[in-house]
Amino acid sequence: MIEIYSQKIKEQHKEIKAIINELREDVYSAEDIPDNTIWIALKLGQLNAILHTHLKFEDDFLYPCLIESNDQYTAETAAKFSLEMGGLADKFAAYIKQYIGTPNAIRADMKKFVQETSSLIDKISTRIEAEDKELVELLAANPVSCPVKK
Protein backbone atom coordinates (compact mmCIF):
# COMPACT_ATOMS: atom_id res chain seq x y z
CA MET A 1 0.00 0.00 0.00
CA ILE A 2 2.83 2.38 0.83
CA GLU A 3 4.21 1.98 -2.69
CA ILE A 4 0.90 3.15 -4.10
CA TYR A 5 0.95 6.23 -1.87
CA SER A 6 4.56 7.02 -2.78
CA GLN A 7 3.81 6.64 -6.48
CA LYS A 8 0.71 8.84 -6.19
CA ILE A 9 2.72 11.58 -4.45
CA LYS A 10 5.44 11.44 -7.11
CA GLU A 11 2.91 11.64 -9.96
CA GLN A 12 1.04 14.56 -8.43
CA HIS A 13 4.25 16.41 -7.61
CA LYS A 14 5.46 15.97 -11.18
CA GLU A 15 2.22 17.50 -12.49
CA ILE A 16 2.37 20.39 -10.00
CA LYS A 17 6.02 21.13 -10.85
CA ALA A 18 5.28 21.13 -14.59
CA ILE A 19 2.43 23.63 -14.21
CA ILE A 20 4.51 25.83 -11.90
CA ASN A 21 7.36 25.87 -14.43
CA GLU A 22 4.96 26.97 -17.16
CA LEU A 23 3.57 29.69 -14.89
CA ARG A 24 7.06 30.93 -14.07
CA GLU A 25 7.68 31.43 -17.78
CA ASP A 26 4.36 33.20 -18.42
CA VAL A 27 4.19 35.31 -15.26
CA TYR A 28 7.69 36.71 -15.46
CA SER A 29 6.86 40.37 -15.79
CA ALA A 30 3.80 42.60 -15.95
CA GLU A 31 4.53 43.34 -19.62
CA ASP A 32 3.94 39.67 -20.51
CA ILE A 33 0.53 39.45 -18.87
CA PRO A 34 -1.79 41.07 -21.46
CA ASP A 35 -0.80 38.64 -24.22
CA ASN A 36 -0.95 35.60 -21.93
CA THR A 37 -3.93 36.27 -19.65
CA ILE A 38 -6.12 33.43 -20.92
CA TRP A 39 -3.22 30.97 -20.91
CA ILE A 40 -2.25 32.03 -17.37
CA ALA A 41 -5.84 31.67 -16.14
CA LEU A 42 -5.99 28.19 -17.71
CA LYS A 43 -2.73 27.16 -16.01
CA LEU A 44 -3.94 28.53 -12.67
CA GLY A 45 -7.14 26.52 -13.08
CA GLN A 46 -5.11 23.39 -13.76
CA LEU A 47 -2.88 24.06 -10.76
CA ASN A 48 -5.95 24.61 -8.61
CA ALA A 49 -7.45 21.29 -9.72
CA ILE A 50 -4.31 19.23 -9.16
CA LEU A 51 -3.55 20.90 -5.83
CA HIS A 52 -7.12 20.27 -4.69
CA THR A 53 -6.79 16.59 -5.62
CA HIS A 54 -3.34 16.38 -4.02
CA LEU A 55 -4.49 17.98 -0.76
CA LYS A 56 -7.55 15.75 -0.59
CA PHE A 57 -5.32 12.70 -1.04
CA GLU A 58 -2.98 13.91 1.70
CA ASP A 59 -5.77 14.87 4.11
CA ASP A 60 -7.91 11.77 3.58
CA PHE A 61 -5.27 9.08 3.16
CA LEU A 62 -1.62 9.96 3.59
CA TYR A 63 -1.46 12.08 6.73
CA PRO A 64 -3.96 10.04 8.76
CA CYS A 65 -1.96 6.91 7.95
CA LEU A 66 1.36 8.47 8.96
CA ILE A 67 -0.03 10.21 12.03
CA GLU A 68 -1.17 6.81 13.31
CA SER A 69 2.37 5.43 12.97
CA ASN A 70 3.97 3.87 16.02
CA ASP A 71 7.09 5.85 15.17
CA GLN A 72 6.94 9.19 17.01
CA TYR A 73 9.07 11.07 14.46
CA THR A 74 6.85 9.90 11.62
CA ALA A 75 3.65 10.84 13.43
CA GLU A 76 4.97 14.28 14.46
CA THR A 77 6.39 15.06 11.01
CA ALA A 78 3.12 14.09 9.31
CA ALA A 79 1.14 16.23 11.75
CA LYS A 80 3.48 19.17 11.09
CA PHE A 81 3.16 18.81 7.32
CA SER A 82 -0.62 18.56 7.59
CA LEU A 83 -0.86 21.74 9.66
CA GLU A 84 1.54 23.71 7.45
CA MET A 85 -0.17 22.68 4.24
CA GLY A 86 -3.53 23.80 5.58
CA GLY A 87 -2.23 27.38 5.81
CA LEU A 88 -0.76 27.28 2.33
CA ALA A 89 -3.94 25.77 0.93
CA ASP A 90 -5.98 28.61 2.44
CA LYS A 91 -3.65 31.21 0.90
CA PHE A 92 -3.88 29.52 -2.48
CA ALA A 93 -7.68 29.31 -2.28
CA ALA A 94 -7.89 33.05 -1.54
CA TYR A 95 -5.48 33.76 -4.41
CA ILE A 96 -7.57 31.68 -6.84
CA LYS A 97 -10.76 33.38 -5.68
CA GLN A 98 -9.18 36.78 -6.18
CA TYR A 99 -7.64 36.20 -9.60
CA ILE A 100 -9.72 33.52 -11.24
CA GLY A 101 -13.04 34.18 -9.52
CA THR A 102 -13.07 37.86 -10.45
CA PRO A 103 -13.15 38.81 -14.15
CA ASN A 104 -10.25 41.04 -15.22
CA ALA A 105 -8.53 40.81 -11.80
CA ILE A 106 -5.29 39.66 -13.41
CA ARG A 107 -5.15 42.71 -15.67
CA ALA A 108 -6.33 45.16 -12.99
CA ASP A 109 -2.93 45.29 -11.29
CA MET A 110 -0.49 43.20 -13.29
CA LYS A 111 2.55 44.11 -11.22
CA LYS A 112 0.80 42.95 -8.03
CA PHE A 113 -0.37 39.79 -9.80
CA VAL A 114 3.20 38.96 -10.85
CA GLN A 115 4.49 39.50 -7.30
CA GLU A 116 1.74 37.49 -5.64
CA THR A 117 1.98 34.69 -8.18
CA SER A 118 5.76 34.43 -7.85
CA SER A 119 5.56 34.41 -4.07
CA LEU A 120 2.84 31.77 -3.95
CA ILE A 121 4.37 29.40 -6.49
CA ASP A 122 7.70 29.72 -4.67
CA LYS A 123 5.99 28.62 -1.45
CA ILE A 124 4.26 25.74 -3.20
CA SER A 125 7.54 24.69 -4.83
CA THR A 126 9.35 24.76 -1.48
CA ARG A 127 6.59 22.69 0.05
CA ILE A 128 6.68 20.12 -2.77
CA GLU A 129 10.47 19.80 -2.42
CA ALA A 130 10.12 19.22 1.32
CA GLU A 131 7.48 16.58 0.71
CA ASP A 132 9.64 14.94 -1.94
CA LYS A 133 12.48 14.62 0.55
CA GLU A 134 10.73 13.89 3.82
CA LEU A 135 7.37 12.26 3.10
CA VAL A 136 8.68 9.76 0.61
CA GLU A 137 11.44 8.82 3.08
CA LEU A 138 8.91 8.52 5.91
CA LEU A 139 6.76 6.22 3.83
CA ALA A 140 9.73 4.07 2.87
CA ALA A 141 11.03 3.91 6.45
CA ASN A 142 7.63 3.15 7.94
CA PRO A 143 5.92 0.52 5.82
CA VAL A 144 2.75 0.56 7.87
CA SER A 145 -0.39 -0.80 6.36
CA CYS A 146 -2.57 2.11 5.41
CA PRO A 147 -6.21 1.47 4.65
CA VAL A 148 -7.58 2.24 1.23
CA LYS A 149 -10.77 4.30 1.31
CA LYS A 150 -13.35 3.58 -1.32
pLDDT at 150: 39
Q: What angle do CA 122, 85, 3 make, to 5 degrees?
A: 100
Weakly modelled stretches of the chain, pLDDT under 50? 148-150
Q: Are 127 and 54 in contact (CB under 8 A)?
A: no
Q: Quote the pTM value.
A: 0.83
Tally DSSP H helices, then E strands, for the chain.
7, 0
Q: How far apart are CA 40 and CA 26, in angstroms?
A: 7
pLDDT at 32: 80
pLDDT at 98: 92
pLDDT at 145: 58
pLDDT at 148: 47
pLDDT at 146: 60
DSSP conformational letter for 84:
H
pLDDT at 121: 94
Q: Are 105 and 45 in contact (CB under 8 A)?
A: no
Domains of the chain are: 2-141 (1.20.120)
Q: Are 94 and 136 in contact (CB under 8 A)?
A: no
